[in-house]
Chains A and B, each alone.
Chain A
């Protein structure tokens, strides 16, 4: 490492620290306000520490219903958007030739359609075709129409760096296209698949404009919060944020621990196998 390298690294690390401070500033603010004994979600004036907003949170059945609906819609949207996004990406990158530009334009167009219009036009379509009024299932489809495009863009960016020789080699060796897809394409795409799943779930989870019109009498968490602003929000919402942050960190830590344990076991197995080979029969 030259001094210039070290300087570059140090600058980047300082920059990352500032970046993550920016990222966590609103979170820290929300978390602190969740414990302030004050009717409004603020940190000043500080009127004493309390847990009553967490109790309020527990006493709000509508909120928990809404949260459940949000999670279910999020899962359904991931289940719809990932296959559609992948199908779109593969069609664009491998199948479509003359119609590629048109197909691309059609598939990314929902990203720049204002959400309110996707919501209203989707509900009109379902009413016309099936006589159905709004519900969470239709809202999932409305959301999937543009979330699939995010997934597709991630897949395309990754596929572009794909080395076709890998597939060619496998095909030449007699693998079926299905085997190639499962053993080569999917593992290569895995980072993009995970990123797309995370992005799709979060986009669904916080969507407002599209959901509002297509969901009928069901309520997602975002809709519930947004309608609550007619009266001033209380820090109960901040308490919810604290719970969500805690849960996601706990979940991630659990995954991390499980992965490390698995890695250690695999290493042990390899070591044992090596010892067994070395040991006289």
Chain B
């Protein structure tokens, strides 16, 4: 039985394989050959078929818009196969089960990249092959190093886009002003039965509100990401606050598909949500507004990485270079409602996008963005533990 779970230990396995050409290996080989012969063409992996002009792009469902794919294929002559994931966890589990094979370029959140590098699933990136890095906003280039982009001194991920989680409200029922509005506002009793949030990020929002009020020392949340004891302390406090106000919550959202249901059908007037999907509601003419609170919007960066088993590495670099042009950055913003990390990308968006952006980040909001720190699996587990507590309460 021991060692039966070897998919997770590819490097261990490789070492052992060299020494151990045992009967068991022979049996496995024979069985493997028989299986392939029996089931024939069905199990030939797609990677084996890919030629020089192909790229398998593993990305979020809302990233691979037909416009972007068409633009890339036209600009580079490379044929794209898109594979989608819906959550970071799903992507990690999938890469772990395939040992990093089958995908050429992918867009995990940069703070999740350590969860891949822990299992040595990402390739080191060669900066000399990415001349368009010069187009990246320097703040994101620098910031991304500490957020998970660099592992053991090696660059494994570059920023692709960014977005935030902050306050969303129905303008017919609620009025909020920048500089006063806080993550704590959604928990006011006047919104009882009319608010929505997501347990895991609500823990973060309340922690930032507590820091602002002095109920927690400044910097507590950032420290919680690195230190288990602090995490227990912070989330112990914030989960208690949330559980006491649980009757206020109308709906927990899990993804953006819940937003129209929450705000349009379930009578929710205020909540802590993502940005882009609220812009989609605004663009449909719904009376919605999205804005950063005084504590700073919770900010994520999604990255570009090349998994270790990638077959089309040159094409993956072509993709990264392509993505780092202002025109593509603008097209990405327009089709997905997320923000580009490329200098000058806004020139290629439209007035509606610029207006949404300015309303979301007025005043000094851009300087106050609160970037999610890298998530170790220990932190993720603790955060989930308290989220479970909230849900079970």
Quick one: which of A32-55 are within 8 Å of B by CB? 38-40, 42
Set A38, A62, A229: member contacting B257, Cβ < 8 A:
A229
The interface stretch among B27-35, B188-196, B322-330, B355-363 is: B27-35
**A212 CB within 8 Å of chain B:** yes
Quick one: which of A220-267 are within 8 Å of B by CB? 224, 226-233
User: Chain A 106-129, CB within 8 Å of chain B: the 1/0 string?
Assistant: 000000000000001001100111
User: Chain B 31-51, CB within 8 Å of chain A: the 1/0 string?
Assistant: 110011001001101100000
Quick one: which of A79-134 are within 8 Å of B by CB? 120, 123-124, 127-134
Question: In the complex, what residues of A have CB within 8 A of residue B61's CB?
Answer: 227-228, 230-231
Question: In the complex, what residues of A have CB within 8 A of residue B43's CB?
Answer: 132, 135, 137-138
Is the CB–CB distance between A137 and B84 below 8 Å? no
**Residues A124 and B7 in contact in the complex (CB < 8 Å), given A217-B56, A230-B62:** yes
Question: In the complex, what residues of B have CB within 8 A of residue A231's CB?
Answer: 61-62, 256-257, 276-277, 280, 336
User: Chain B 87-108, CB within 8 Å of chain A: the 1/0 string?
Assistant: 1001001100111011100000
Is the CB–CB distance between A134 and B97 below 8 Å? yes
CA distance A228 to B257 in the complex (A): 8
Question: In the complex, what residues of B have CB within 8 A of residue A130's CB?
Answer: 28, 31-32, 35-36
B290, chain A: closest CB distance, angstroms:
14
**Residues A42 and B265 in contact in the complex (CB < 8 Å), given A137-B39, A231-B257, A231-B277:** yes
**B52 CB within 8 Å of chain A:** no
B109, chain A: closest CB distance, angstroms:
12
- Among residues of B, the one whose C-beta sits closest to the C-beta of A125 is B4
Is the CB–CB distance between A59 and B66 below 8 Å? yes
**B260 CB within 8 Å of chain A:** yes
CA distance A131 to B17 in the complex (A): 12
Question: In the complex, what residues of B have CB within 8 A of residue A137's CB?
Answer: 39, 42-43
**B82 CB within 8 Å of chain A:** yes
**Residues A133 and B98 in contact in the complex (CB < 8 Å), given A128-B4, A212-B90, A230-B86:** yes
Is the CB–CB distance between B7 and A213 below 8 Å? no
**Residues A232 and B257 in contact in the complex (CB < 8 Å), given A124-B7, A133-B45:** yes
**B12 CB within 8 Å of chain A:** no
A30, chain B: closest CB distance, angstroms:
14
Question: In the complex, what residues of B have CB within 8 A of residue A177's CB?
Answer: none
**B21 CB within 8 Å of chain A:** no
Is the CB–CB distance between A232 and B86 below 8 Å? no
Is the CB–CB distance between A230 and B31 below 8 Å? no
Is the CB–CB distance between A232 and B102 below 8 Å? no
B393, chain A: closest CB distance, angstroms:
23
Enumerate 29 A-B pairs (CB-CB under 8 Å) in ascending A order. Answer: A38-B284, A62-B64, A62-B82, A123-B7, A127-B7, A128-B6, A129-B32, A130-B31, A132-B43, A133-B97, A134-B98, A135-B42, A213-B94, A213-B97, A216-B102, A217-B81, A217-B102, A217-B103, A219-B84, A227-B86, A229-B254, A229-B257, A230-B60, A230-B62, A230-B86, A230-B87, A231-B276, A231-B336, A233-B257
